[in-house]
Amino acid sequence: MTVRGEPRRRSGASALRPPVAFGRCERCLTPMLRRASDDERLCASCAAGDRAVALASRAEPSVRTQLYRPQSTVHVLDKRRNPLAAPAPSAGRPLRIALLAPPWLRIPPHGYGGIESVVALLADALVARGHDVTLLAAPGSRTDAQTVGLLDSSHPDRIGASVIEADHVARAFEHVEREAIAGRPFDVLHDHSGWIALAMADRISVPVLHTVHGPFDEDAQRFYAAHGAKASIACISRAQAASRPDGVRVDAIVPNPIDVDAWPTDVPKDDHLLWIGRFAPEKGAHRAIRVARETGRRLILAGPVQPGQEEYFAEEIDPHLDGDRIRYVGEVGGRFKQELFASARALLMPITWPEPFGMVMVEAMAAGTPVIAFAEGSAPEVVEAGRSGLLVGDEAAMAHAVTRVDELDPAECRASARERFSPDRVAARYEDAYRAIATPAPRPRPRVEPADESEVVPA
């Protein structure tokens, strides 16, 4: 974007300073002041986001798997790529993989459930690549993998209860060890389940890869510093990896997958903005309301009010709901959720936390809906600014970006998600990480036939 208007002429002392001009950040369109002598094209917030991304990619020399590439704001779709190509079969021997999901929700989830969506897509993609996959999960889970339901039921109302997680993980470990004793050892246990499996990962005979799904907040910093060396560690964004505690080795950075083909392309656009997620203050539903008010656009809010979020919802959200311009539709799932995404003009992501990934951003892209996100955490990596969305620094910039979002092409949003987050691509990255830790298959020993019984030495 070019800077509009000529700098005004000055006299006296001020003439010594380079003249300033009003312009806009080339990425998020925030109004900014520029000195004629400098060539800064990004606002402070976008530049800080870029620095964080650059730092993250330099920070970990041991990172073996890098999927993200810094994106240019001007993007030309590579038409030679065939994103619809069938999954490539795995190059090496098929692996025997145990995927450990959290105990709380069935796989795939019907409504809320970011980790559960990831595990579902990964399980199917690994099977499509020819691996032997067992999913250890809440009963009722269904994927293309063999499923072992460990507990009697799922526990959507007790997310985080350690008594449930411990029971689930202990049974998973028992299953893995029983298989080894029965001569069917797993090559790798890929853990998505939370804390306990990692804390005990050095007590099991199978190599463990643990995906970090949350932010490295204060508790997590302490936890990973103490237990992070017990398994291989995968992060889901460079921003997340960059915030790990000192001394914790990250072995792979693999983003979360999205199956773009599972999202409808025939839903007409409505004029509403969408905010969807859990009602935690850092996810910014209250800021989305202010932006909608500021722009005069309708806003639909969707998501569960989880235990502990009732007060925030009652004080910051509920008083603004009017059933029309600001509307709350509860927790959504299935086709209704997809239509909500696809019919929206934009997804608002006014986050003020180090978002580790943000499944809703890639879901919006898959639905052909651009994302307007604060440049926090993974957002500068996930959103291709100028192609699948806009990155902004504050609410005022977000309100301005809402007026520009129609310039983005829904087909490009989908293409961006397909090129960078396809399940097969993600599964191939995880496969590399599995092969790096899997015990090599024992070489078949040449069979030596004894000449006669007398040569057989008793043990």
Residues that bind ligand UDP (CB under 6 A): 111-114, 117, 276-278, 302-304, 331-333, 337, 357-360, 363
Selection from 101, 151, 96, 93 nearest residue 122 by Cα: 101
Closest contact distance (angstroms) between CB of 318 and ligand UDP is 16
What's the gap between Cα 448 and its chain centre? 53
**Strand 326-328 relative to strand 346-349, pairing:** unpaired
> Toward ligand UDP, which CB reaches closer, 92 or 281?
281
Selection from 250, 198, 209, 212 nearest residue 437 by Cα: 209
Closest contact distance (angstroms) between CB of 289 and ligand UDP is 17
**In angstroms, rounded to a whole number, what is the distance separating the alpha carbons of residues 154 and 110?**
12
Closest contact distance (angstroms) between CB of 93 and ligand UDP is 33
**Nearby residues of 124 by Cβ (< 8 Å), 6 or more positions away:** 143, 144, 145, 423
> Toward ligand UDP, which CB reaches closer, 30 or 309?
309
* Rg of the chain over all Cα atoms, to the nearest angstrom: 25
Selection from 56, 129, 48 nearest residue 90 by Cα: 129
What's the gap between Cα 10 and its chain centre? 50
Scan for tokens 């009017």, then name that residue: 322
**Nearby residues of 149 by Cβ (< 8 Å), 6 or more positions away:** 137, 138, 139, 140, 141
Closest contact distance (angstroms) between CB of 114 and ligand UDP is 3
> Toward ligand UDP, which CB reaches closer, 117 or 143?
117
> Toward ligand UDP, which CB reaches closer, 100 or 115?
115
Closest contact distance (angstroms) between CB of 214 and ligand UDP is 8
CB of 179 closer than 8 Å to CB of 186: yes
> Toward ligand UDP, which CB reaches closer, 221 or 306?
306
Closest contact distance (angstroms) between CB of 241 and ligand UDP is 17
> Toward ligand UDP, which CB reaches closer, 42 or 137?
137
Q: Residue length, the chain?
A: 459
DSSP at 316: I
Phi and psi at 265, nearest 5°, equal -115, 0
Closest contact distance (angstroms) between CB of 26 and ligand UDP is 27
**In angstroms, rounded to a whole number, what is the distance separating the alpha carbons of residues 111 and 208?**
29
Q: Which residue is nearest to ligand UDP (CB)?
A: 114
Helix then strand count (H, E) for the chain reads: 14, 15
Closest contact distance (angstroms) between CB of 1 and ligand UDP is 30
**Residue 368 identity:** G
Closest contact distance (angstroms) between CB of 352 and ligand UDP is 13
Give the E-state strand segments of 219-282 in sequence order. 232-235, 252-253, 273-276
Closest contact distance (angstroms) between CB of 213 and ligand UDP is 7
Question: Residue 434: which H helix or E strand, with range?
Answer: helix 423-437
> Toward ligand UDP, which CB reaches closer, 241 or 276?
276
**Residue 256 identity:** N
Selection from 211, 228, 213 nearest residue 427 by Cα: 211
Closest contact distance (angstroms) between CB of 388 and ligand UDP is 15
Strand order in the sheet with 273-276: 326-328, 299-302, 273-276, 346-349, 371-374, 389-392
> Toward ligand UDP, which CB reaches closer, 65 or 378?
378
Closest contact distance (angstroms) between CB of 310 and ligand UDP is 16
- The three-class DSSP label of residue 252 is strand
**In angstroms, rounded to a whole number, what is the distance separating the alpha carbons of residues 433 and 414?**
27
> Toward ligand UDP, which CB reaches closer, 96 or 283?
283
> Toward ligand UDP, which CB reaches closer, 126 or 159?
159
Q: How many CB atoms lie within 10 A of CB 199?
A: 16
Q: How many CB atoms lie within 10 A of CB 10?
A: 13
> Toward ligand UDP, which CB reaches closer, 118 or 248?
118
**Residue 117 identity:** S
> Toward ligand UDP, which CB reaches closer, 104 or 224?
104
